[in-house]
Amino acid sequence: MLPEGWRASTLAQIGTIKSGSTPERAKHERYFVGGRWPWVKTMDLTNDVVESTDERITDEALNESSCRLFPEGTVLVAMYGGYKQIGRTGVLRKESAVNQAISAIELDRRQADPMYVLHWLNGNVGLWRNFAASSRKDPNITRDDVCAFPICLPLLDEQMKVARILSTWDEAIARTKSLLENRSEQWQALLAMTLHLAPANPRVDGRADNGGYPASVQPGVPNLPPSPHGWRRASLGRHLSEVRRTADLSPNNVYRLVTVKRSRGGVELRESLPGRDIKTPSQFYVRDGDFLISKRQIVHGACGIVPAELDGAIVSNEYAVLNSDGQIDLRFLRYLSESRYFQQTCFHSSIGVHVEKMIFKTERWLRWPFNIPPLPVQQRIVEVLDTARREIELISAQIDRLKREKAALMADLLTGKRRVRVPVVEAAS
């Protein structure tokens, strides 16, 4: 049942819906080079106002193709690209063209506020799955699906107030994300300064010119710079050794199996199973503080330190469990793993015909030289980097909290469970 003063509608009933177009790519020089009109693609949609685009088109592209300009306030919805992209939204900040993968909704502004419609679509993005899954081979949506998409509308003044409230939360999230990006850049600089090594690519999905390799893979030849003053050059094998604590599995005992996330994402619990259900019989115990390497995923940065809560868990022989003789702090080694040199030595210590099938050879990797500072310096570096890392984690947690709070508020505002006050004069007008 709709709240008082609300009505049910569809996007087609509150606006005109058209699809975008793509100028002929073969005429790139004529249609794209030096263009002055923003041309929106799916990747330009961020579920918010479209502030900028990767590409712009020329007047010739508009005059000689089916491309057209849509006015400020047009709401955009991505139609293609599978479940990860369909339903992505945007609102034009200024007059722009859009490509053929996007539906453009020119609203009747007497009925609907563009930002309210944007928030409604963002809050109901899961509904697109119902359209995309309806007997079509690819999970895409059509213009007809966009036309039929349901929407509930309060009076225009209430729409605008709801939109302003939700946009305030979006602005707070955007500012906090900007702060996180700034701190992450500072983190990379601090890492390079303290380790005297260039950082590895920070994210699995980061962009990098890797000759066709995933961004997390570092295929270049390892090049260790000269040792800083007071540091020494030594192979890791002088101080690290692989340990094997055999676990004799009992069929009825429950064991915790751990895994290591890519891109230095940490060691975490994968699952808990009784011994009879563990398919690989060769299992080994790990202890708090062990340095763990996934032999199949280390080319993607899968390594980390076993946390205290996973002490006594088990891993198969597809993991290397490393301990130190006390001359290398394993927490320092964990930060060394953030360097490009570390990742390149791991790549060159792995064998296989395809990057996803490469196997890490521990004994080969332990022969690579590294620049090792004295233990007190290692510990000071760990202290500095731990402090910087905690600040990034706090900002990330703040973003997650803001998103959860906004989602809860959105659910209330877009269903009328929580109403905003509209002065009588405004409502009457």
Q: What is the pLDDT of residue 428?
A: 42
Assigned domain for 341 exists? yes
Q: What is the pLDDT of residue 131?
A: 82
From CA 286, how far away is CA 307, in angstroms rounded? 10
Same domain, 334 and 257: yes
Residue 28: which domain range? 7-153
Same domain, 223 and 89: no
From CA 216, how far away is CA 262, in angstroms rounded? 8
Same domain, 75 and 140: yes
Same domain, 200 and 146: no
DSSP bridge partners of 9: 151
Q: What is the pLDDT of residue 225?
A: 96
Same domain, 254 and 385: yes
**Rounded-to-10 torsion of CA 199, 227, 194, 295:** 40
Task: Name which of 303, 264, 266, 296 is nearest 280 in CA terms.
Answer: 296
Assigned domain for 262 exists? yes
Assigned domain for 217 exists? yes
Same domain, 105 and 225: no
How many Cβ atoms from other residues are within 10 Å of residue 233's Cβ? 11
Q: What is the pLDDT of residue 427?
A: 44
Spatial contact of 17 and 115, defined as CB atoms under 8 Å apart: no
Tokens of 175: 């500012």
Distance of CA 70 to the CA centre of its chain: 30
Same domain, 138 and 279: no
Per-residue pLDDT of the chain (429 residues; tens, 9 = 90+): 889 999 999 999 999 999 999 998 889 889 999 999 999 999 999 999 999 999 999 999 999 999 999 999 999 999 998 888 999 999 999 999 999 999 999 999 999 999 999 999 999 999 998 888 764 567 889 999 999 999 999 999 999 999 999 999 999 999 999 999 999 999 999 999 999 999 987 654 555 456 677 878 888 899 999 999 999 999 999 999 999 999 999 999 999 999 999 999 999 999 999 999 999 989 999 999 999 999 999 999 999 999 999 999 999 999 999 999 999 999 999 999 999 999 999 999 999 988 889 999 999 999 999 999 999 999 999 999 999 999 999 999 999 999 999 999 999 999 999 998 766 444 444
Residues 6+ apart with CB under 8 A from 58: 30, 31, 32, 33, 34, 35, 36, 37
CATH of the domain at 357: 3.90.220.20
Assigned domain for 94 exists? yes
Same domain, 129 and 199: no
User: Looking at the 3D structure of the chain, how many domains does it have?
Assistant: 2
Sign of CA dihedral 32, 34, 38, 40: positive
Same domain, 210 and 136: no
From CA 228, how far away is CA 292, in angstroms rounded? 27
Same domain, 98 and 210: no
Label each residue of the chain as H, E or C: CCCCCCEEEEHHHHEEEEECCCCCHHHHHHHCCCCCEEEECHHHCCCEEECCCCEEECHHHHHHCCCCCECCCCEEEECCCCCCCCCCEEEECCCEEECCCEEEEEECCCCCCHHHHHHHHHHCCCHHHHHHCCCCCCCCCCHHHHHHCEEEECCHHHHHHHHHHHHHHHHHHHHHHHHHHHHHHHHHHHHHHHHCCCECCCCCCCCCCCCCCCCCCCCCCCCCCCCCCCCEEEEHHHCEEECCCEECCCCCCEEEEEEEECCCCEEEEEEEEEHHHCCCCCEEECCCCCEEEECCCHHHCCEEECCHHHCCCEEECCEEEEEECCCCCHHHHHHHCCEHHHHHHHHHCEECCCHHHCEECHHHHCCCEEEECCHHHHHHHHHHHHHHHHHHHHHHHHHHHHHHHHHHHHHHHCCCCCCCCCCHHHHHC
Assigned domain for 162 exists? no
Same domain, 211 and 329: yes
Same domain, 124 and 262: no
Assigned domain for 398 exists? no
How many Cβ atoms from other residues are within 10 Å of residue 53's Cβ? 20
Assigned domain for 26 exists? yes
Assigned domain for 89 exists? yes
Q: What is the pLDDT of residue 130?
A: 84
Tokens of 382: 């760990």
